[in-house]
Amino acid sequence: MAKSRNWIANLDWITILIYVLMIFLGWINIYAAVYTEDQPGLIDFSLRHGKQLIWIMAAILIAFIILLIETKFYYYFAYVFYSIFIIILFVVIFIARDINGANAWLEIGSFRIQPGEFAKFATALAMARLMSTYNFDISDRKDLLKVMVIMFLPVVLIIMQNDLGSALVYFSLLIVLYRYGFPGWILLLGIFFVGLFVASFKISTLTLTFFVIFLASVLSAINFRRVTEVSIALGVFTLVLILSWVMIKLVDIKIELYYLVALSFVFSSIIYGYWIYSKKLGFVLLMLGFVFMSLIFLFSVEYIFNNIMGEHQQNRILVLLGEKDDPKGIEYNVNQSKIAIGSGGLTGKGFLQGTQTKYKFVPEQSTDFIFCTVGEEWGFLGTTSVILLFIALFWRLLVMAERQKTPFSMLYGYGVTGIIFFHFAINIGMTIDLAPVVGIPLPFFSYGGSSLWSFTILLFIFIKLDSSRQNIL
Amino acid sequence: MNEYANRYYVVISAIVFVAIIFIIRLFSIQALDPSYKATAESNSTRVVIEFPTRGLIFTRDSALMVENKSSFDLMVIPENVTAFDTSYFIEILQLDSIQFIKEFIKAKKRSYIPAMVYKEIPDSIITKFQELQWMFPGFYLQTRALRHYPLSSAAHILGYIGEVDKNMIEKDAYYKQGDYIGITGIEKTYEVLLRGKKGRKLYLVDAKNRIRGSYKDGEMDETAISGKNIVLSIDSRLQTFGEQLMANKRGSIVAIEPSTGEILCLISSPAYDPNLLVGKNIASNYTQLRNDEANLLFNRAVMAQYPPGSTFKLVNALIGLQENVITTHSHFTCAGGYNVGSFHLGCHHNGSIEFYYSIQGSCNAYYCHVFDRILRNKEFQTIGESYTEWRNYVMQFGLGKRLGTDLAQELRGYIPEASHFDKYYGKDKWTPLRLISMSIGQGELGFSPLQMVNMTAAIANRGYYYTPHLIKNIEDLDTIPSKFKQKHTIDIDSAYFEEIIKGMEMVMKAGTAANAYVQGLDICGKTGTAENPHGKDHSIFVAFAPKDNPKIAISVYIENAGFGSTFAAPLASLLIEKYLRDSISVHQWETMLLNTSINYKTK
Ligand SMILES: [Zn+2]
């Protein structure tokens, strides 16, 4: 068929060009970050920039191979990939060695890879595959559950590896559901829980509980214009709270107020729920459910934080949320990162002239904080250019996604965009103190084979799918 | 799915929204806020202060009085420390374990910054530590210069240096916490010359504070300028010999070269070893010196206010001659003293005393008459006026006022003003008899030994003096402050000086200090014995030699040693001979003085 040959002509060369530009700029900045006067060599395979050069070569090779493989392969093998990576992720939990507090690395000889990185494309493929099946119906609870399982199984496994950052990335796949037609409020709910998570470290759980209850009440009231009922509910709640507090005081048991609130809430909602049930006010029940979920969520966050996470991660979270003052710790890193970027000024200090990155004031400056090198040596012009380059990539990816004839390719395209965007937003956000320091790389820029290859695979599968968009699967 | 195609716009707007937030944020950090640039600079540059070597101090005879000695402080960079045998470490370095551990814990709080954990490791241990240093990574020795006084002498002249205090840091931006500064003596007076100027080097450092190169190729570096060496006018032989002779006695010796005002020796006894006020024991030693019953830190030579005793008759004789109330032919009767009505001031002559003999024999009655005439001078309306005139003459000798020498703690001494007596007796309602004891250097008068020697130098010069000073030369500048080159002339005819000098010559040849006569030295002197309500009389002697072109003027003041002729005069003769001949001929004086120890009972 003529079609099978014209995929080369159909390749989206703009995207490939952006890709090449990005890995080139990334390498230049890695070189600058690693550079010292003592070891000025451009190609030294014992140093990071030398190694990155090898990763880049390999990545280009990988890209070629991906482009050569038939499009159908990705569709049919989507679940296979996914299953393989789930198994690997599962195995990694048990055999991986602790590196920076995470057990996320698989070691083969002197070679280290991070399966969590590669599982992203497999998950995106699997989701696209599932959601593009003919009889998939998002409003069917069974189907929704399936998608959720595919999406969050890796999250659970990666969290068990203690790699919070990589796990969070999977939430970006919600964008696929959104584009598919999933109601927007679900996404808003997701954002709400993320906010609640962050807030739970800044504000006391008790206050948050009240806030959630208040919010639910207000929402109910707005929805039904039934202020009376809501007031009654709040009244019952307060009454039970006061009564139980007095009782606790009488018997003199040491118990945190927080638990009392939860308790009184349970009581009042049972009474209220029964009353509501008799009046068949479904939405109020929904709100009660919402408050219950919030409480459970808050409990679990607290529990996971205190009992499951290691000190390293606790600190990371606390400091990035501004809850811990630790000039030599995480906050120090963010500070140094801002100083490095800020000191670049409008036009930067020039290539290899950065002192903050070169002299290691910024931690992880070739991996997670590579953007600092850009900021210090190339200034505002450099950082803006990089951001615009990413915007160009996202625009391209979305344009490509929208022109797909098959839901599979289109949904995968959205998955790719979501994942890369999440990395972009969190990574750059953390270097300028707008996002938590969760330690995820900047796509195509950061040093590291796993990350470069996984993004290459992620992107080029989509480029390949796009190139054969005329073919109907 | 296509019914949701508009969600494409939602997604792209969300992305663009994030990008815009980033760009605004970056613009504010990079383009608007200059503080990051400054922080980055201070982040990655380290200023290393280079301390200049403090100037050395020499004597006029080229002896080294003050030098710098390096001491070794134990330093640590805690992050480089590996597990080590603490008790062995403490043992070989002979450390105070509690102090060491305390400092080490303190240092660990900023693990990448070098910190001092122990001051002044004894020299004897240095080599051993250097051999074993490989066992204790992270620890090293850092040298620091301490003052050292090879002669162990002249503590009161030299003063000491110590860490600068908060007030000084606020006053003078040059000083930073931990810097050393001259606190008293020459170290204080010539601080700016001796200290030199600190230099600084700017380095680029990495996050672990390791030096990675020089900042801007050393463009902003400043090299340290060493302190100037200075030469003092002190003669080390006189100074040390005088200190030996004054051992176990309290008092002071000051000698001056009359033609220049250069101080040849300045001794305050009891003294202490200046090496005590050096290094880490400075605080405890200081307290001990200050609390000593003999008040060791008190510099008697410039701070004591002694009555001048009979040496003051010289001044009264000169004023009397200048005021024309007496002549060299004036005779006064001494009838075992000065008697006015029931008033009696004792003396040991009988008969008419002539001018020269009044000095030679130190007649009290004679000077009571002289002083009486000065105060009853017809040229003045009131006693207040004549007294003030007399006082002005006295002060022209540098008595009763600060001379302005280069020892800052110098005090002015005391001659009461006329108003002092007005207050007691009513305006001009007082008679010469009320203050007659001042005629023989008693009463309300109080002068420092430095002032007394300056008076002697002025006599030796026949009517002028240069402000006594210790500085003789400053390296590279080859000059001394101009105030020390300024001649202070006394409004008394130099011919009158010649007359009293004749009397002073006779003091040695056949007078009160005949026992201290040395053949051929041509010493002119005057004894003094100051009554002292607290005990035995003070023994006083002032002298200069030779008579013509005097080379040395000296004042000796020994507390509670009795007659001036007994101790002070031979002591002065010994020092004068030592200075002029570099030898001594009358050894029994030396033996006598060295063996004399005066018992100062504490009350
Ligand atoms: Zn007499």
Question: Stretch A31-38: mean pLDDT, rounded?
Answer: 75
What is the pLDDT of chain A when averaged over all its residues?
79
Amino acid at A364: E
End-to-end CA distance of chain A: 15
Contact A428 B22 (CB under 8 A): yes
List of chain B residues whose C-beta atoms are within 8 Å of the C-beta of residue A355:
40, 43-44, 204
For B476, phi then psi, to 5°, come to 70, -35
Would you list the domain boundaries of chain B?
Answer: 51-202+212-232, 236-594
Question: Stretch B323-333: mean pLDDT, rounded?
Answer: 94
pLDDT on residue A397: 95
pLDDT 10s digits, B153-169: 999 999 999 888 888 88
Range scoring the smallest mean pLDDT among B44-48, B91-95, B128-132, B428-432: B44-48
Range scoring the smallest mean pLDDT among A221-225, A294-298, A406-410, B457-461: A221-225
Spatial contact of A403 and A470, defined as CB atoms under 8 Å apart: no
Spatial contact of A55 and A85, defined as CB atoms under 8 Å apart: no
List of chain B residues whose C-beta atoms are within 8 Å of the C-beta of residue A346:
30-31
Give B362 Cα–ligand 1 centroid separation in angstroms: 7
Angle, alpha carbons B518-B599-B272 (nearest 5°): 80
Helix axes A330-343, A370-402, angle to 10 degrees: 80
How many Cβ atoms sit within 10 Å of the Cβ of residue A304?
Answer: 12
> Is A389 at the interface with chain B, CB within 8 A?
no
Band of the pLDDT at B581, cuts 50, 70, 90? very high
Would you list the domain boundaries of chain A?
Answer: 2-182+326-467, 203-312
Find, in chain A, the residue whose alpha carbon is nearest to that of B13: A395
Indicate the helix (H) or strand (E) that contains B374: helix B364-375
- Percent of chain B past pLDDT 90, that is, above it, reads 57
The CATH number of domain B236-594, selected from 3.40.710.10, 1.20.970.10, 3.30.200.20, 3.40.50.2300? 3.40.710.10
Range scoring the smallest mean pLDDT among A76-80, B43-47, B248-252, B567-571: B43-47
Find, in chain A, the residue whose alpha carbon is nearest to that of B33: A342
What is the pLDDT of chain B when averaged over all its residues?
89
pLDDT on residue A227: 60
Res. A320: pLDDT tops 70: no
> Is A336 at the interface with chain B, CB within 8 A?
yes
Contact A346 B205 (CB under 8 A): no
Its sign, for the CA torsion A256, A257, A262, A266, is positive
Find, in chain B, the residue whose alpha carbon is nearest to that of A328: B110
Band of the pLDDT at B441, cuts 50, 70, 90? very high
Band of the pLDDT at A183, cuts 50, 70, 90? confident
Band of the pLDDT at A333, cuts 50, 70, 90? confident
Of B4, B26, B37, Cβ closest to residue A432: B26
pLDDT on residue B99: 83
Angle, alpha carbons B379-B385-B390 (nearest 5°): 85
Look at A193 and B377; give whichever has higher pLDDT. Answer: B377
> Is A413 at the interface with chain B, CB within 8 A?
no
Give B317 Cα–ligand 1 centroid separation in angstroms: 14
The CATH number of domain B51-202+212-232, selected from 3.40.50.360, 3.90.1310.10, 3.20.20.70, 3.30.559.10? 3.90.1310.10
How close does chain A come to B14, measured CA to CA in Å? 10
Find, in chain A, the residue whose alpha carbon is nearest to that of B28: A342
Give A404 Cα–ligand 1 centroid separation in angstroms: 135
Band of the pLDDT at A37, cuts 50, 70, 90? low
End-to-end CA distance of chain B: 112
Indicate the helix (H) or strand (E) that contains A120: helix A115-131
> Is A180 at the interface with chain B, CB within 8 A?
yes
Question: Stretch B33-55: mean pLDDT, rounded?
Answer: 78
Query: Where would I find the H helices in B45-154?
Result: 86-93, 97-108, 123-132
CB pairs under 8 A between A and B: 114
Res. A110: pLDDT tops 60: no
Spatial contact of A50 and A43, defined as CB atoms under 8 Å apart: yes
Band of the pLDDT at A178, cuts 50, 70, 90? confident
Spatial contact of A4 and B180, defined as CB atoms under 8 Å apart: no
Q: Ligand 1 (ion): which residues have CB within 5 A? A: B 334, 347, 349, 363, 365
Range scoring the smallest mean pLDDT among A189-198, B157-166, B213-222, B390-399: A189-198
List of chain A residues whose C-beta atoms are within 8 Å of the C-beta of residue B203:
none
Which of B22, B79, B206 should we substitute to test contact with A (largest number of A Cβ atoms within 10 Å)? B22
For B17, phi then psi, to 5°, come to -60, -50
pLDDT on residue A299: 73
Distance CA A116, CA A138 (A): 27
Single out the residue of A437, A468, A463, A441 nearest to residue A452, CA to CA. A441
Question: Stretch B249-266: mean pLDDT, rounded?
Answer: 95
Distance CA A153, CA A151 (A): 6
Contact A341 B44 (CB under 8 A): no
> What is the 3-class SS of B231-267, one letter each residue?
EECCCHHHHHHHHHHCCCCCEEEEEEECCCCEEEEEE
Give B369 Cα–ligand 1 centroid separation in angstroms: 11
Question: Stretch A442-451: mean pLDDT, rounded?
Answer: 91
ipTM over 0.85: no
pLDDT on residue A254: 62
How many Cβ atoms sit within 10 Å of the Cβ of residue B95?
Answer: 20
Question: Stretch B245-274: mean pLDDT, rounded?
Answer: 94
> Is A384 at the interface with chain B, CB within 8 A?
yes
pLDDT on residue A326: 47
Give B366 Cα–ligand 1 centroid separation in angstroms: 6
Spatial contact of A239 and A187, defined as CB atoms under 8 Å apart: no
Q: What is the DSSP letter of A428?
A: H
pLDDT on residue A126: 94
How many Cβ atoms sit within 10 Å of the Cβ of residue B602?
Answer: 5
The interface residues of chain A toward chain B in range 73-112, judged by CB-CB distance below 8 A, are none
Single out the residue of A382, A385, A343 nearest to residue A362, CA to CA. A343
Q: Are strands B230-232 and B57-58 parallel, antiparallel or unpaired?
A: parallel
> Which DSSP string do the residues of B333-344 spell out, in sequence order?
EEEEEEEETTEE
pLDDT 10s digits, A136-166: 887 787 888 888 899 889 988 887 777 777 8
pLDDT on residue A2: 46
Contact B30 A380 (CB under 8 A): yes
Contact A387 B25 (CB under 8 A): no
pLDDT 10s digits, B170-181: 888 888 877 889
Contact A398 B12 (CB under 8 A): yes
Its sign, for the CA torsion B278, B283, B285, B290, is positive
User: Is there a cis peptide before residue A436, judged by omega within 30 degrees of 0?
Assistant: no
Find, in chain A, the residue whose alpha carbon is nearest to that of B39: A339
Amino acid at A282: G
Res. A1: pLDDT tops 50: no
Find, in chain B, the residue whose alpha carbon is nearest to that of A355: B44
pLDDT on residue A393: 96
For A75, phi then psi, to 5°, come to -70, -50
pLDDT on residue A419: 95
How close does chain A come to B86, measured CA to CA in Å? 28
Res. B122: pLDDT tops 60: yes
pLDDT 10s digits, A384-441: 999 999 999 999 999 999 998 888 999 999 999 999 999 999 899 888 887 777 778 9
Indicate the helix (H) or strand (E) that contains B212: strand B211-214
pLDDT on residue A327: 44
The interface residues of chain A toward chain B in range 417-436, judged by CB-CB distance below 8 A, are 417, 421, 425, 428-429, 432, 434
Contact A361 B207 (CB under 8 A): yes
List of chain B residues whose C-beta atoms are within 8 Å of the C-beta of residue A341:
26, 29-30, 36
Res. B146: pLDDT tops 70: yes
Q: Is A458 exposed, middle or buried (0-12, 13-18, 19+ CB in 10 A)?
A: buried
> Is A346 at the interface with chain B, CB within 8 A?
yes
pLDDT 10s digits, B196-246: 888 888 777 666 666 667 776 777 778 888 999 999 999 999 999 999 999
pLDDT 10s digits, B549-578: 999 999 999 998 888 788 999 999 999 999
Question: Stretch A315-337: mean pLDDT, rounded?
Answer: 60
Amino acid at A308: I
Q: Are strands B251-257 and B552-558 parallel, antiparallel or unpaired?
A: antiparallel
Contact B207 A402 (CB under 8 A): no
Find, in chain A, the residue whose alpha carbon is nearest to that of B37: A343
Band of the pLDDT at B544, cuts 50, 70, 90? very high
